[in-house]
Structure 1
């Protein structure tokens, strides 16, 4: 276990270095930040002076070296627009995004697991066939189409839930504000979290179905039937546990993908999270904020993958974590 953790730590550092280089390199492709920071009345000399103050005239290697030294100390630069450390700006928006992702994952687990199990146990049942048809359609529809459709249906036509904003929030332990514990906050959370869940739910329904059907054909399941064990124990204890191994692996990757998906979802629902902040930063050519966002999201992917590997080994003790980390 210790060897595995050390290997993963080295891999994580290497990956984060690559992410930081790429994140910093694309800044020049976004446009001129000085043009966004000053008005048209500012002279070219004043613009050039501002570029010099910001260090934009330095070579790429000098700029990256300055950025890397700050990043090691937790300083990812200062936002041009907010005039605050970029990392602090992102961390203020992080709870809203994590709250959205958490609710989406919860919905996926609650809905996809029983649907996948049902489709595997009774593959010819009309309900199972309907689930497969719906999942096939769900895989083909982009997330922004789902989000727009839900806004039209639930907000415009039925007026069930609000279509934008985060709603009323309450402070949790003096650390962050959450809308989960207020009625208004939950109503605002419904549509964006449901949109995210629907976008990924078909993948998990089909994956659980395919893996469980394979497990149900294995020898130890036949032996369990011959021992006279109850169907509930066989399906939900023996079969489902081994079915969840690949699901956990894919789920960990998709959990990180959900953070990226929030860019579209938060933009459509005007959800004040990291994704909406990123789009705003791109439009303002706030390059330090863009780079900081990419590094934070990359770090979340690295952490998620490491945690998934650990959980994989805990669920299946026969897995050799040291070799799995290669």
Structure 2
């Protein structure tokens, strides 16, 4: 219990520090009045709008107002949409979440089998080709991959649509483009583009785990008992190599959400990433701050959950904390 309370206090402190950094960094950039106010507006109209937006107050006063509103769940009102910033982000969040889940699904379903193959046959030409492909997955810029995918599958072959989310379907009360065939066609390219980096990581982790586990005694004992190779691989081997893979995939979820900006911009995917780019272009500060704080909370929450789960799985972590 002490371990959990300490982690919760650390999470609150990190969130508070990040709120200061995010707010100061965003509000130190440009003046949204220069973009939002008509150049032909009178000085009185300009001053009235600046006061209405609260831009005439000192920066520290704006922060304390923001922090007080934040504790009440109010992230401010968008300068452009004239609506609560958090509501706008939550409207765009489902599109980003389904893109991130689709990317994780692609990375796991493709990456684990390829990593297993590369680990079980490390000297085969196909295995070396898989590892070379994983290096490319780490190395190639995400925006370039997206452009090449569009040129190949949309422009040249005409198989998949270029932009947009596609029609949304409903299943068990949930609405998502993943529940329609046309929606799946729309998400295929952006999801694969977002998944490439994680796919390469899953391949390498799976291969490394396979190479480490296969020579161990319990695998030899299973073979000596006459178990089929398929059973050894899918029961004994996978059980031991999936723990680090699942951990990395889980921790990568927040990163996929945060770094979906490039993919969403290239494919005009109507998620939070495209929203933040559009908001930066017009200096819509409440949207920018709310988005960054949501991402901060996502990362802190995921780290907190992982720490708590590790302390439950391995009590030595709690004992080490208590001994410090």
TM-score normalised by length of structure 1 = 0.91
The question of 1:28 aligning with 2:50 is answered no
Gaps of 5+ in 2: none
Cα deviation per residue 1:33-85 (whole Å; 9 max; x = unaligned)?
11222100112343233223322232222111111111111101110001011
Helix, strand or coil at the partner of 1:84: coil
Which stretch of the first structure deviates more once superposed, 133-142 or 78-87? Answer: 133-142
CA distance in 2, matches of 1:188, 1:101: 14
- Structure-1 residue corresponding to 2:243: 245
CA drift at 1:183: 1.6
CA drift at 1:321: 5.2
Structure-2 change in CA distance of 1:78 and 1:306 (3 Å): same
Structure-2 change in CA distance of 1:7 and 1:234 (3 Å): farther
- Structure-2 residue corresponding to 1:74: 73
CA distance in 1, matches of 2:170, 2:320: 41
RMSD between aligned residues: 2.2
- Structure-2 residue corresponding to 1:139: 138
Gaps of 5+ in 1: none
Structure-2 change in CA distance of 1:261 and 1:207 (3 Å): same
CA drift at 1:172: 5.3
Helix, strand or coil at the partner of 1:180: helix
Task: Find the partner of 1:295 among 293, 296, 301.
Answer: 293
2:104–2:249 CA contact under 8 A, matched in 1: no
TM-score normalised by length of structure 2 = 0.91
1:8–1:325 CA contact under 8 A, matched in 2: no
Cα deviation per residue 1:211-259 (whole Å; 9 max; x = unaligned)?
2212223344344444444433332323322222222332223221111
- Structure-2 residue corresponding to 1:12: 11
2:311–2:318 CA contact under 8 A, matched in 1: no
Aligned pairs, how many? 322
CA distance in 2, matches of 1:239, 1:318: 22
CA distance in 1, matches of 2:41, 2:99: 42
Matches for 1:62-141 after TM superposition, within 5 Å: 62-141=61-140
1:309–1:321 CA contact under 8 A, matched in 2: no
Which stretch of the first structure deviates more once superposed, 259-268 or 50-59? Answer: 50-59
CA distance in 2, matches of 1:310, 1:223: 35
Matches for 1:1-326 after TM superposition, within 5 Å: 2-171=1-170, 177-309=175-307, 317-318=313-314, 320=316, 322=318
2:171–2:179 CA contact under 8 A, matched in 1: no
Structure-2 change in CA distance of 1:27 and 1:45 (3 Å): farther
Which stretch of the first structure deviates more once superposed, 207-216 or 278-287? Answer: 207-216
CA distance in 1, matches of 2:77, 2:119: 52
Structure-2 change in CA distance of 1:13 and 1:29 (3 Å): same
CA distance in 1, matches of 2:288, 2:61: 19
Helix, strand or coil at the partner of 1:8: helix
CA distance in 1, matches of 2:109, 2:90: 29
1:196–1:265 CA contact under 8 A, matched in 2: yes
